Structures are given as structure tokens and as C-alpha cells.
Structure 1
Amino acid sequence: MIIIRNYEEFEKYLGQELGTSNWHTITQEQINKFADATIDHQWIHTDEERVKTESPFKATIAHGYLTVSLLPYFWHQIADVQNLKMQINYSIENIRFAQAVPVNSRVRLIAKLEGVVNLRGITKATIGVTMEIEGEKKPAYTGSVVFLYHFMS
């Protein structure tokens, strides 16, 4: 895990891979809770019997947005950004879902610092993200997330 306390410490990682998170297993319980929270109960996510005969995946799959919602969880395993007044999720850019994530798959995140800008004392960090699926060549998704960091000093 890297530790970042200010803009200058972010800047030294520009263009570099920042790290890889731990693996996380996507369970049916997690998928069902996400379906309840988002009111998205499409059968490909929640109907364990129907998918066996009607889905090309033959198993339920995680919602794409469920996998994206795991970004903060994984990001905090990669970077410990300290000395903060506040952090703001600014944007999610160019997320491309390349492959479905079947239930009980293990996923992890790889992060790379694509850009860092000092906006009058606020650090705007653009993080390239790739969610890998264990045992698969194609990732679940790739894209970028942008955070605004208001450091104490």
C-alpha cells in the first residue's frame, strides 16, 4: 500500500501503477443485496434457476454497477491518502464493461495514476482502473475515476 499525504507525493507516481488490491469474491448474497438497494432485480442477476437454462453464462452475474461500486473498497487497499480535510468522488470516465462477472468469481482492482493536477490547492487525481477476474484474460472493466483531494497543508 502506498501512502500519500499531499500533491507532491501524488505527483511522483504520475504514469505509474499504484498497486493491486486483494481478491474479493462476489457472492449471490452481495448480488441480491445490491439488487434490493438499486431496485434492479433483472433475472440474470437474481434468478439462480432460470439462468441455468436461459443465460449464456449458466450462472447469475454481478451487476456492472455493483462491480463499479466496489472501487472505493479496492482503492483504499491500494492507497492510504492521509492529511485530508475532505475527499470528493468527482467523476467516473470511460468505463467499458468487457466481460460479465459470474457469481462466486474473485475480482481485484489494478490502479494507475493517469493524471494529477493542482487546482488552486485542490489535488485532482485521475486513476486508471482495471478490474480483473481471476482466471480470465479479459477484465470485467477498464476506465478512469477522478477524485478531488483537499489536503490540510
Structure 2
Amino acid sequence: MIGSILVDKKPLVSVGPDATITQIAALLHEHRIGAVLVMDGDTIAGLVSERDICRCLHVHGAGVHDVCAREIMTAPVVVTESRTSVAEAMAIMTDRRFRHLPVVDDGKLLGLVSIGDLVKRRIEDAEAEADSLKHYIAS
């Protein structure tokens, strides 16, 4: 379940709808992340990813620094629940062609997982299964 991935993650980074692209880019760099949620109070208004910033740069050129999150964010945002399996979450992200998925239970935002988080968990699970099988065979 992807809820267990959130336990090991850093605190969620978010911005308001009026945050500028310059501010968002600084947060992405500082926290070494690929996207931030755009929050309007406790509601997810959208998501701004590196891809959104690249698209904005292409459209706005040098004026990109003054563009606000609300102007380029992806919205509405697809979300999932903490009980979603890693495989299901990967399928959602692959089918919809995005790399970040907010986790929401009963209307409460729990966090954000990336495709990298999910791939890492799949690898850890596969390694644990292989170790278990090796131990079983050796016994």
C-alpha cells in the first residue's frame, strides 16, 4: 500500500496559487523534488511540476518569472488513497502520463508520492522476496 511509503518521506512542500514560478523553482531546487502541490487552504487547487515550468518557459519566454502557479498548474489533480497498492498507483501514473500522485484519505491530504518512490518500493519488495526465497531454499 502506498500509505506506507509516506512514513519515510520528507514533509510535503506546497505553495499558494499566487506563488511565482521563480519561487516554485527555488523550492524544487532546495528540496530536490520534481513538483509542488498548489493549495487553496486545505484544498488541492493544482500541481506544478518541472514539466509545467518547461512548458511555461516555452510559452512565456523571459516573462516566465512573473507567472503565477494558478496560471500554469495542472488541474484538476488526480488523487489516490493510502490503501492503493504500489502496482495500482504505478498503473495510474503510467496510463495518465504523470509522475506525482497526491494521497488523500477521507478528504485529508496525507502526502505526495512520485514514480521514483514507487519504483524504489517495488525494487525493495523484489529484493526482500528474493532474499526470502534464498533463505527458504538454503534451509
Structure 2 length as normaliser, TM-score?
0.28
Structure with the higher fraction of residues in helix conformation: 2
Structure with the higher fraction of residues in strand conformation: 1
Larger relative contact order (CA 8 Å, sep ≥ 6): 1
